[in-house]
Amino acid sequence: MFFHRSDLDSYVSHDFSQANIVVRHNINDSHTLNAYIDELQEVVEDIAGPEIKVNIVSENLMVNKAAEDLMLAQIKALVLLLALIFIIMSVMFTSFRGGAIALVPAVIPIAMMFGVMGYLNIPLNPGTAMVAVIGIGIAVDGTVHLLARYNELCRHTSDYVAAVNLAVKEEATPLIVSSIALSFGFGILLLSNFTVIAQFGALAAVTMLFSIYANLLITPIIMARVRLIGLYQIIGMTVDKKVLEESPLFKDMTNYQRRKAVLISELNEFEEGDLLVEQGTVGRDMYLILSGEAEVIRRDGDKSRQLATLQAGTIFGEIGYIRETERTADVKALTKISALRFDYERMQKDLKFFPNIVAKLNFNISYILGERLADMVSHSKKD
């Protein structure tokens, strides 16, 4: 009764059916504010009773709701993107290990970026929310190049650490240059007067640099402990299918398993006159000739005689593979030869990565040795 009508317009309707209560606060954290709002809603509804309907509204709450929705959308987008990367990389490298490896350098730059945002109190907004997805894409691109090159190098050496070092050496320069160029490109956005754009540019530039760290320091450490086979290698392999099918080394294997077995071995090329095996040397490896022709020669002082001629599909050196023994003859290339080298130490390493393939290869090697032992016994009885 002591107020003018104009004084009450902001707080109550003309018929007193609706009332407006203004609450002021200094809470900045959306999570804390939501907790207080829920508590306030419960208390006010309890005081007002069932006859009075209570709504808590404000522009601040709308902004807070938008921020919460943005954060949830960011989490969902990141989870979906990482899941897709895991699936695609697992298929690409025919192993869940490939998918897991690809996630590591993708997640590290993003985790570091969010750490920078928290340290500098940079809010999550439509601009900064896009940085994570872009950063993951750039990081994965570098990882794919490293893994693909590493796989290719592993085909020609049994030293996986050396293959990792060479892969990093070859891919480091283009990876660093492209990431720095992208970093400078995003850094230009710092000149923008629009805060959201400037924050996006700064975070994107920093994330590009973080991706260099992840790919050149973290990824190689993981690569050196795994062995992957690319699906593109299996599909694009150009080896005489007939040689593989007829070789006892790949007995009872599917075409896919045979191709994978070839890819985990070491591919060697020899020119005419090269020695594949030298008499008197010691080694635990065996060979399968894919193409070309070789001769087996035994040297006895100044004299030498040819024992056999080896064609495509022939296996030799299997006894040395099983047990480290001195080679009893030379194997010399008569033509240009392409041969698979199966190294015992390498196969033992690969056993934990490709247990089914290596187990079948070892079983077939035992079968081949058994057949040759049976032939030797048969010939000795005839003699």
Say which DSSP state 16 is in: S
Give the span between the Cα atoms of 339 and 267, in whole angstroms: 6
Give the span between the Cα atoms of 73 and 66, in whole angstroms: 10
**The predicted structure's pLDDT at residue 9:** 62
- Backbone dihedral angles phi then psi of residue 34, each to the nearest 5 degrees: -60, -40
pLDDT tens figures, 314-339: 888 888 888 888 888 899 999 999 99
pLDDT tens figures, 82-122: 899 899 888 888 888 888 888 888 888 888 988 988 888 88
296 bridge partner residues: 308, 331
Give the span between the Cα atoms of 248 and 314, in whole angstroms: 9
Give the span between the Cα atoms of 143 and 135, in whole angstroms: 12
Hey, what are 12's tokens?
């109550």
Asked whether residue 307 carries a pLDDT value surpassing 60, the answer given is yes
Q: How far is CA 145 from the centre of its chain?
A: 10
- Backbone dihedral angles phi then psi of residue 237, each to the nearest 5 degrees: -70, 130
The answer to which of 38-52, 146-160, 247-261 has the lowest mean pLDDT is: 38-52
**The predicted structure's pLDDT at residue 6:** 61
pTM of the model: 0.69
Give the span between the Cα atoms of 327 and 106, in whole angstroms: 49
> What string of DSSP letters covers 53-117?
------HHHHHHHHHHHHHHHHHHHHHHHHHHHHHHHHHHTTSHHHHHHHHHHHHHHHHHHHHHH
Give the span between the Cα atoms of 85 and 139, in whole angstroms: 11
Asked whether residue 381 carries a pLDDT value surpassing 70, the answer given is no
| Higher-confidence position of 71 and 99 | 99
**The predicted structure's pLDDT at residue 176:** 92
Amino acid present at 75: I
In percent, how much of the chain has pLDDT > 90? Answer: 13
Which range in 25-29, 127-131, 248-252 is most confidently predicted, on average pLDDT?
A: 248-252
Can you tell me the mean pLDDT for 259-267?
Answer: 85
Residues 6+ apart with CB under 8 A from 27: 33, 36
What are the domain boundaries of the chain? 5-57, 60-231, 239-382
Hey, what are 338's tokens?
């392409």
Can you tell me the mean pLDDT for 171-190?
Answer: 91
Multiple choice CATH, 239-382, 2.60.120.10, 2.60.40.1180, 1.20.1540.10, 1.10.1240.10: 2.60.120.10
Q: How far is CA 101 from the centre of its chain?
A: 4
**The predicted structure's pLDDT at residue 173:** 92
- Residue range 60-231 in CATH 1.20.1640.10: yes
Give the span between the Cα atoms of 202 and 179, in whole angstroms: 14
Hey, what are 85's tokens?
């990367």
Give the span between the Cα atoms of 200 and 204, in whole angstroms: 6
**Whole-number mean pLDDT of the chain?**
83
The answer to which of 63-67, 96-100, 226-230, 340-344 has the lowest mean pLDDT is: 63-67
Give the span between the Cα atoms of 366 and 383, in whole angstroms: 26
Hey, what are 305's tokens?
């005689």
